[in-house]
Structure 1
Amino acid sequence: MKVDKHSVSQIIDALGGKKNISAATHCITRLRLVLKDENKVNQESLNNHNLVKGFFSTNGQFQVVIGQGTVDKVYKEMISITGIDEVSKEELKNEAAKNLNPIQRAIKTLSDIFIPILPAIVTAGLLMGISNTLTGSGIFYDDKSFVDVHTKWKDLASIINLIANTAFTFLPALIGWSAVNRFGGSPLFGIVLGLILVHPDLLNAGSYGDGLKKGTIDTWNLFGLHVEKVGYQGQVLPVLVASFVLAKIELFLRKRIPDGFQLLIVAPVALLVTGFLAFIVIGPITFAIGTVITDAVVWLFKTAPFIGGIVYGGLYAPLVITGMHHTFLAVDLQLIGSVGSTFLWPMVALSNIAQGSAAFAMMILSKNDEKLKGLSLTSGISAWLGIIEPAMFGVNLRFRFAFISAIIGSAIAGVVISVAGVKAASIGIGGIPAPLSIVPGSWGPFMIGMVIVIVVPFLLTLVLGQLQKKRA
């Protein structure tokens, strides 16, 4: 369909009219809108519009999938018709936040902090998968690793491992950069704060338990107050809270100190005060909270893996609808930093595949609807490569039986891999490439889980779809 004033006007009308649009921007494939009342959206009209390939609502934004290249033309025409000002993605996020309740705002804050560092974490996860493949025993040879047999590859594997581990070793620096930026401070200060918390002079947080048993933990004597010299490598909560404090102190000082003295005062005072608070108060308290959370999750999956698998495996996709899935990224990183692996992320990877499988089944069921058939194909491929939203919002949620089928398949696979104790050494791409991030000893049961989420959602969607057609 040609992009002209008439076709774009139809989209605007389906969105509730130009008075219902508060702000608008776009990304590579989607219109990103803030609507005054999403209940005014005529979903049927949007579904039937030839330019629209799907739509969904998340974090206060109503997003309409148009397609690469075409979305630019649609957006320009929409701006011309409605008269609304062009805004940046950040301005749109701020506008969208006005429609969120306190819980949604907290979830959005976590999302804003972790999504920018996700490419570094995923890249590290993929490289770590390569490293694990080269160094894991029993993968290519009995009781020996690839590098044990082919020793000339050992140094290459060592370098890959170093590069892969860097993002996790200095994770607080990444989080500090993103968090301080999100809270309105200078990102550079956040990096310095994160590096302070993992300084080589500090006891590694992972060795803290051993140090307690041996009684070998060094302390600072601050005028009679003994503060343990403990770092927070791989920890999430300490740097999150410390970043918030740092940003607020910086903003407080910048408002009150003349410009000519800010370079000499703001950074030293903000970092010094935050550093003291981090080691004396923030670190010990948040480390204890993080330990409780980690122990609770580990306990659940050790004592009742069936329950953990069916709940998290089945509920992950519904959590994506609310945006709450971003909170579990922090839990994954906390687990990796504390126990060296996570058993939550493998279920995320399988949930993505399940949504893609259901979308592929919808492609077969919609053989007379070329638009839905094309959308199902492209979004299914996207889900199998780790991007779940187009398949889930654009296809499966429109046909509830497809979404339910994906959840059932994901829950069954979640039980299987949880009972088998499948773990991921890192966070990677949540789709078909996922095995690269799985601990080599867990590959077998994880592959069984992959077969389940490929077959069960696909067949169940076909069966339920045929039954629904008969009832109609």
Structure 2
Amino acid sequence: MSDPKQAAKLILEAVGGQDNIESATHCVTRLRFVLKDDDKANKEELEQIDVVKGTFSTDGQFQVIIGPGLVDKVYKELVAETGIEESSKEEVKDQASKKMNPLKKGIKTLADIFIPILPAIVTAGLLLGINNILTAEGIFWDDASIVSVYTQWADFAEIINLIAVTAFDFLPALIGWSAVKRFGGNPLLGIVLGLILVHPNLLNAWAYGDALEAGEVPYWNLFGLEIAQIGYQGQVLTTLVTAFILAKIEILLKKKIPQSIHLLTVAPIALLVTGFLAFIVIGPVTFAIGNGITDVFIWIFENVAAVGGLLYGLIYAPLVITGMHHTFLAVDLQLIGSTNGTFLWPILVMSNIAQGSAALAMMFLIKDEKIKGLSGTSAVTAYLGVTEPALFGINLRYRFPFVCAIISSAIAGAFITFNQVTAFSIGVGGLPGIFSIPAEQWFVFAIGMLISLILPFVLTFLYGKTQKSLS
């Protein structure tokens, strides 16, 4: 079907008609509806429409996957057909959030904060991978690295490393910007707040343990109150809480102070109050909580690694379906900030690859040419770290590919965690993910990737052959 107008009419009918639509918008690939009653949407009917590649519901939105370019034309015809006002993605998100329970709202808030900064984090991870190739011993020579053999590349690698680590060194500034913006404040103040928390005059958080043991932690004396002069590098929870308080103080001040003197009063007061609270109360409390969370995950990794890897590999894809996987991004960043590595993110790679392989197997089983094509393209995107097309377009539709994939990712997750694999950064959550793994762990990680590539394909294909018909 090449007629966007006809497609819009069929989609409108399948989602329950104009009366069932509260608002609608679109992104690069999907129509996003807030429906009055999701149960009135006929998924089977929708997926029979040629332009529709899949459907799913998440965060209070009913989403119809169409694809880049065409989705814009279908949306315009939908607006023309119904007469509904065009809505922005933010307006639709706000309306959809009214339908969510407190837990889902909390998860959505975390997603809204961390997704905008992902490009910087993923880029940093890829650059660290390049630096890893240049500087690690044992990749091309047993006891030498590229820069030690070809010394002219040493400064080149050093500049790459400088560019790469900046996103992690100033992570509170990135989170501060995104969090304050999400909570309704001025995002520029969020950047300043994040930079305050990692100011070079403060004791670096990574040196705090040694300084404490040596009795060399510097303190401020505020009228007899001793306040540790420590920074909060890599402390996600500290930044989130201070950003929330900064935004709320700013909003309150704007309501109470005459607009004519906002510039002279609102930002200075908000930053001063939040800054003092950060160093006196928020920082010490959240620093302890963040380290406690880190200690729990480290204990699991050190004592029951295989069990932890098995469980996380089993549940990660279901977490993606609910959107709850975004909460673990904060844990990954906390682990990287506190221990210079995360053992959770490598399991994510196993899960994404497994979903891709299960979808790829379906390409050889399905008779319907449209779904066969979708299986192949969604497998490629999953191998590059984006699993939604494979999950919602193929694997969940037929169920057994999804089950085969999560079983396989659980086995691969148990294997790599048993062998103590960690990632020094967050990168591309697919086949290129190996570049975020230390070189000395590449062999073990590659075996895990092979398990995730081959096992779900074989399981899905063999089980699929037992089914009499697939359409």
Moved more, 95-104 or 64-73: 64-73
Q: Distance in 1 between matches of 2:13 and 2:297?
A: 47
Match of residue 274 from structure 1: 274
Match of residue 463 from structure 1: 462
For the pair 1:451 / 2:450, whether they are aligned, the reply is yes
Query: What SS is found at the alignment partner of 1:96?
Result: helix
Query: What SS is found at the alignment partner of 1:279?
Result: helix
- Encode CA deviations 1:249-291: one digit per residue, 9 max, x unaligned: 0000011111221111111100000000000000000010000
How far 1:470 moved relative to its partner? 7.3
How far 1:60 moved relative to its partner? 1.3
Query: What SS is found at the alignment partner of 1:397?
Result: helix
Query: What SS is found at the alignment partner of 1:231?
Result: coil
Moved more, 330-339 or 431-440: 431-440
Query: What SS is found at the alignment partner of 2:431?
Result: coil
Confirm or deny: 8 A CA contact 1:203 1:231 kept in the other structure: yes
For the pair 1:251 / 2:270, whether they are aligned, the reply is no
Match of residue 55 from structure 1: 55
Confirm or deny: 8 A CA contact 1:357 1:458 kept in the other structure: yes
Match of residue 385 from structure 1: 384
Confirm or deny: 8 A CA contact 2:316 2:351 kept in the other structure: yes
Q: Distance in 2 between matches of 1:71 and 1:404?
A: 30
Q: What are the residue-to-residue correspondences of 1:135-174 with 2, within 5 Å?
A: 135-174=135-174
- Encode CA deviations 1:180-224: one digit per residue, 9 max, x unaligned: 000000000000000000000111111111111101000000001
Q: Distance in 2 between matches of 1:299 and 1:460?
A: 33
Match of residue 291 from structure 1: 291
Q: Distance in 1 between matches of 2:20 and 2:376?
A: 32
- Encode CA deviations 1:390-411: one digit per residue, 9 max, x unaligned: 1101110001000001101100
Match of residue 300 from structure 2: 300
Confirm or deny: 8 A CA contact 1:3 1:73 kept in the other structure: no
Q: Distance in 2 between matches of 1:211 and 1:468?
A: 64
Match of residue 402 from structure 2: 403
Confirm or deny: 8 A CA contact 1:31 1:63 kept in the other structure: yes
List structure 1 segments (4+ residues) > 6 angstroms apart after TM superposition.
none
Q: Distance in 2 between matches of 1:103 and 1:347?
A: 24
Number of aligned pairs? 471
Confirm or deny: 8 A CA contact 1:121 1:427 kept in the other structure: yes
CA distance 1:278–1:19, shift in 2 (3 Å): same
- Encode CA deviations 1:351-375: one digit per residue, 9 max, x unaligned: 1111110110111111x20110111
What amino acid sits opposite 1:384 in the alignment? Y
Confirm or deny: 8 A CA contact 2:365 2:470 kept in the other structure: no
How far 1:432 moved relative to its partner? 1.0
Query: What SS is found at the alignment partner of 2:226?
Result: strand
Q: What are the residue-to-residue correspondences of 1:61-460 with 2, within 5 Å?
A: 61-366=61-366, 368-460=367-459
Query: What SS is found at the alignment partner of 2:235?
Result: coil
How far 1:111 moved relative to its partner? 0.2
What amino acid sits opposite 1:383 in the alignment? A
- Encode CA deviations 1:19-56: one digit per residue, 9 max, x unaligned: 11111111122111111111111111112111111111
Confirm or deny: 8 A CA contact 1:435 1:446 kept in the other structure: yes
Confirm or deny: 8 A CA contact 2:117 2:174 kept in the other structure: yes
Query: What SS is found at the alignment partner of 1:64?
Result: strand
Q: Distance in 2 between matches of 1:109 and 1:354?
A: 28
Query: What SS is found at the alignment partner of 2:55?
Result: strand
Q: Distance in 1 between matches of 2:68 and 2:204?
A: 47
What amino acid sits opposite 2:276 in the alignment? F
How far 1:468 moved relative to its partner? 2.5
- Encode CA deviations 1:114-166: one digit per residue, 9 max, x unaligned: 00000000000000011111111111111111111111100000000000000
Match of residue 10 from structure 2: 10
Q: Distance in 1 between matches of 2:219 and 2:300?
A: 35
Moved more, 74-83 or 341-350: 74-83
What amino acid sits opposite 1:223 in the alignment? F
- Encode CA deviations 1:323-343: one digit per residue, 9 max, x unaligned: 110000000000000000000
Q: Distance in 1 between matches of 2:422 and 2:143?
A: 20
Identity among equivalent positions (%) equals 63
How far 1:4 moved relative to its partner? 4.7
Question: Gaps spanning 5+ residues in structure 1: where?
Answer: none
What amino acid sits opposite 2:193 in the alignment? L
Query: What SS is found at the alignment partner of 1:324?
Result: coil
Query: What SS is found at the alignment partner of 2:200?
Result: coil
Q: Distance in 2 between matches of 1:119 and 1:229?
A: 32
Q: Distance in 2 between matches of 1:35 and 1:157?
A: 52
Q: Let me know the Cα RMSD of the aligned residues.
A: 1.2
Confirm or deny: 8 A CA contact 2:179 2:244 kept in the other structure: yes
Query: What SS is found at the alignment partner of 2:211?
Result: helix
How far 1:67 moved relative to its partner? 1.7
Question: Gaps spanning 5+ residues in structure 2: where?
Answer: none
Confirm or deny: 8 A CA contact 2:4 2:70 kept in the other structure: no
Q: Distance in 1 between matches of 2:31 and 2:218?
A: 55
What amino acid sits opposite 2:210 in the alignment? D
Query: What SS is found at the alignment partner of 2:397?
Result: coil
How far 1:2 moved relative to its partner? 2.8
Confirm or deny: 8 A CA contact 2:21 2:33 kept in the other structure: yes
What amino acid sits opposite 1:444 in the alignment? F
TM-score, with length taken from structure 2: 0.98
What amino acid sits opposite 1:215 in the alignment? G
How far 1:5 moved relative to its partner? 3.8
Q: Distance in 1 between matches of 2:420 and 2:151?
A: 31
What amino acid sits opposite 1:265 in the alignment? T
Query: What SS is found at the alignment partner of 1:130?
Result: helix
TM-score, with length taken from structure 1: 0.98
What amino acid sits opposite 2:461 in the alignment? L
Confirm or deny: 8 A CA contact 1:349 1:430 kept in the other structure: yes
Q: Distance in 2 between matches of 1:203 and 1:247?
A: 26
Q: Distance in 2 between matches of 1:144 and 1:274?
A: 49
What amino acid sits opposite 1:435 in the alignment? I
Query: What SS is found at the alignment partner of 1:469?
Result: coil
